[in-house]
Amino acid sequence: MNNVTYYLSYLSLFRNKNISVKKFTHLNKKNNWYNVKNMKKYLICMLCVFIFGACEKSRDIFTSRNEKPVVVIGKDKYYQKDIIEFIYFELPDIDPSTLKDKDFKKEIINEFIKHKLLLMEAKKAKVTVDKKALKDIASKLTTNNAPKVIDEKFEKLMEEKLLAQKFLEDKIKSEIKISEEELRAYYEEFIKTKQSKVYYHIYQIVNEDKHKIEEAYKLLKSGKRFEDVAKEYSSGPEAENGGDMGIVDIENFPPVFDLVKNLKPNEISKIVSSEYGYHIIMLKETISSDKPSFEEIKDLLLDELIAEKKDQYLENYLKEKMKDVKVEISPDFDFTVDNSTTEQK
């Protein structure tokens, strides 16, 4: 994976909170999850509402009631504008009214603080990102008519996210170790929650006329081929195929079909009734979807286990760092929507 793809992958992960680290890791392995065209569409939508200053009409959609800093981390002060830029980078499709929700504001402030703490640590550790790769990303994600200020702000936030993530990944590689024994134990727990899926290849003869279904049953008992009897007596759509319904998941069928679970291959059922008429069902074969072996899903489980440990590690790491850095949050911070500005758009 080249640097551009590597960085794009991380950006995609951070931008979409609905994509977990677990999903990201495996989808990325398929090399088809990240789509530059979709990202361009994202940027165009973002330009319409972003408060980066794309145009005077949309510049101040969000305003603050005061100019006091919302957050102070060490000696660094951050204002409403900084928080909102962060929000729109993380959640470009957010409804502005969400900003009035107290729980949301508290959560986003905490995420902002975590991000800035990681960024501070990344700079202390002298972590760098490939500037050329960053420029290449910017060129892929921006449009020819995008205002320069958008490009600059967007690129700055991209770089911050990449620095923080790269620092975290480097820390994890050195701190988190998973043994084969631990991975196998994780596999055993995983398998306990998974059940083998059973599918059935079935045939049926169905008819609303009880006398006809009884005639069909007598013919089957006399040794006539099920397919031939089905073509003559069944009124179902599968009649022309000799009653063959294919390989099915019984859970998606009416309860009357549950009886196939007790049939042997090539055994026919007695006549049963349902709201659709009278049925004679034959089980052709049972097909089991076996539980995956350890080797088959080893890489998948490793990534999931790392993701779990990563979340816990990050939480503990930031708790320790906050003991060394003074963090102040304004008790009366608030976001308001300037309706008059919104109407001008």
Query: What is the reported pLDDT for 137?
Result: 65
CB 216 within 8 A of CB 207: yes
Query: What is the reported pLDDT for 11?
Result: 38
Query: What is the reported pLDDT for 7?
Result: 37
**Maximum Cα interatomic distance, the chain, rounded to a whole number of Å:** 92
Span between the terminal Cα atoms of the chain, in Å: 42
Average pLDDT per block of 10 residues along the chain, 345 residues long:
38 36 30 32 38 36 60 88 80 73 83 89 86 69 50 76 83 83 90 78 95 96 96 91 90 90 95 93 87 84 84 83 84 54 36
**Alpha carbons 30 and 26: distance in angstroms, whole number:** 7
> For the sheet containing 272-274, what is the strand order?
244-248, 197-207, 277-289, 272-274
Could you tell me the pTM of the whole model? 0.49
- The CATH number covering residue 88 comes to 1.10.4030
Q: Which of 255, 271, 289 is where one domain is finished? A: 289
CB 272 within 8 A of CB 191: no
Residue 263 half-sphere exposure toward CB, CA atoms < 13 A = 21
- The Cβ of residue 200 has, within 10 Å, a number of other Cβ atoms equal to 21
Same domain, 103 and 216: no
Residue at 191 is within a domain: no
Range(s) of the domain holding residue 280: 197-289
Residue at 87 is within a domain: yes
Give burial (CB, 10 Å; 0-12/13-18/19+) of 331. Answer: exposed
